[in-house]
Homo-oligomer: A and B are copies of this chain.
Amino acid sequence: MTDVPRLAVFGLVGMPEVSPGDDLAAAIALAAARPGSELADGDVVVVTQKIVSKAEGRLVAVDPDDPLSHKPLVEAESVRILRRRGELIISETSHGFVCANAGIDLSNVDRGFAALLPEDSDRSARRIRDALRHRFGVDVAVVVSDTFGRPWRRGVTDVAIGVAGLRPIADLRGTHDTYGRELQVTEVAVADEIASAAELVMGKASGVPVAVVRGIPSAWFGTGSVRDDVVRAPADDLFR
């Protein structure tokens, strides 16, 4: 009988409101101290971009009475505009992400402020991971997640914009299917799938900005980066 992995996915309740300069790892460790929420070695801790941006002070004052006041920021944070329709801008950010409004939005931020993406969300993930490891004694991988749209399909899904302690792409080249044939579609974006799984327990309205995914195969842990491993170079991209 095959040993099938079994995942548990749960949100961390009791995270405080996050402000610039706050110690995210300490806040996560505190929320994880609640019975039933304890972190374990080998867990993946998924942290939404918004609280990372807030903790890192990536907030910009905007006119609170103008719902489009963040649009000039979108242009400033973009290295390339791919599409415009009405007020919607799809652009490429300095990180290489292609998303709406350069990842900037006004939800779950104090009125009068817009939150930019972290400068380097792989580094953000590493800092949280290192702090959880060295100060709180738990060896977890960290994913920083954000909510992106995509072409061709309606609706948004959460993806990984930063990782630490996790290889974001599981490369199955050289492995074989159940018929013994070598697999051709071989690079699975497991960090994005983990971010999506976490979103299912976080929601957009529920005030649960951190979730834990438990049961990920140990082979997926290791050194990796969204920027280096997931972002597709424009030259390799058929749609840029």
Contact = CB atoms under 8 A, between A and B. Distances in A.
Interface of A: 1-2, 4-14, 82-83, 85, 90, 97-98, 100, 105-111, 147, 150-159, 168-169, 172, 175-179, 181, 183-190, 192-194, 196-197, 199-201, 203-208, 213, 215-216, 229-232, 237-240
Main secondary structure of the interface of A (DSSP, over half): loop
Contact of A98 (B111, B151, B157): B151
B199 A188 contact: yes
A155 B230 contact: yes
A108 B172 CA distance: 14
How many chain copies? 2
A154 B238 CA distance: 12
B1 A156 contact: no
Contact of A199 (B184, B187, B193, B207): B193
The CB with the most chain B CB atoms within 10 A, among A153, A188, A216, is that of A153
A85 B155 contact: no
